[in-house]
Amino acid sequence: MPSNIMVVGSTNMDMVVNTSHIPVPGETVLADSFFMNPGGKGANQAVTIARLGGTVQFISKVGNDVFGRQASRMFDMEGVNTKHLFSDGELPSGVALITVEKSGENSIVVAPGANANLMPDDLKPAYSDINNSNILLMQLEIPIETVKFLSDYAASKNIRVVLNPAPAVILEDELLKKIDIITPNMIEAELISGIKVNNIEDVKNAAKRIHEKGVKTVIVTVGPLGAVVYNDGEINVVASPKVTPVDTTAAGDVFNGALVVALAENRSVLESTRFACIAASVSVTRKGAQSSIPYRNELMGELFSIESKET
């Protein structure tokens, strides 16, 4: 039986435009299309967990507005437990402005809204449910104060802490020491480690440096190449299936959600990373954030199809 997973993070409404290319400063580009899609890193990861068969509770804060009410209904439909979805009486729900170019790459600007007001004091009603969790998954679209508080709290309760350090910021070593698994992309790994990252060898060195700062397991996502895993003193490269990307929005969130689902099923770190790479590769072949998240039956039979490359 899968373990209980607690996700604490952001809920946004994504406003997406598809363009021929991402504009440079001062340039105006006519969009090919526009649509709105539920998003937010925390929400995307919680929905991923639910669709892939995990048992998930989600702690977040939304505005007392139409986007907040839509998010609540959507979570109910997805099977995400939102007992602790808080409503902010002053700030609006978060929104993200996303530009997707024809290659599938994107540029994102986030207005956090109520997400920026999810503070440690808000979490008091959720303590008992957090205590009953086996894995705590967080990102950085909520206040760093809250991330630090929860990392300390989870460590004191022997709850496994997984941090997706996005958006990229410099993190204190004291926080890193409380993290069991961290999942930066190459940009985030460079910022956290202080090592310039240009290739896979640089990624390996950055992963080692982050581990030296106190994180037990480091998983650096490297886009279509898959992920570099530093665990138990060993470095492995886990390949990702070759696909033609349509939209990379939320690929990292799908990776993280799939990762913790597999970990909750007591799979090894490498097996869990393979599963996460497969799920993320499916998501980039579809448009949108939550609209791109696969279901478990779409991944059946694929978990052991990719062999890791030990180096």
Which residue in the block uniquely carries the two structure tokens 């909750």? 264
* Catalytic residue status for 122: no
Alpha-carbon span 104 to 247, nearest angstrom: 4
Q: Which helix (H) or strand (E) holds 77?
A: helix 66-78
- The answer to whether 279 and 254 are in contact (CB under 8 A) is yes
Alpha-carbon span 153 to 7, nearest angstrom: 14
Alpha-carbon span 260 to 77, nearest angstrom: 21
* Cβ partners under 8 Å of residue 195, min gap 6: 189, 202, 205, 206, 209
The crossing angle, in degrees rounded to 10, of helices 41-51 and 251-264 is 50
Q: Are strands 234-238 and 227-231 parallel, antiparallel or unpaired?
A: antiparallel
* Cβ partners under 8 Å of residue 1, min gap 6: none
Region class of 47: left (phi > 0), else alpha (psi between -120 and 50), else beta:
alpha
Question: At 283, is the secondary structure helix, strand, or coil?
Answer: helix
Catalytic residue (one of 88, 202, 247, 253): 253
First to last CA, the chain: 34
Active-site residues, by number, are 253
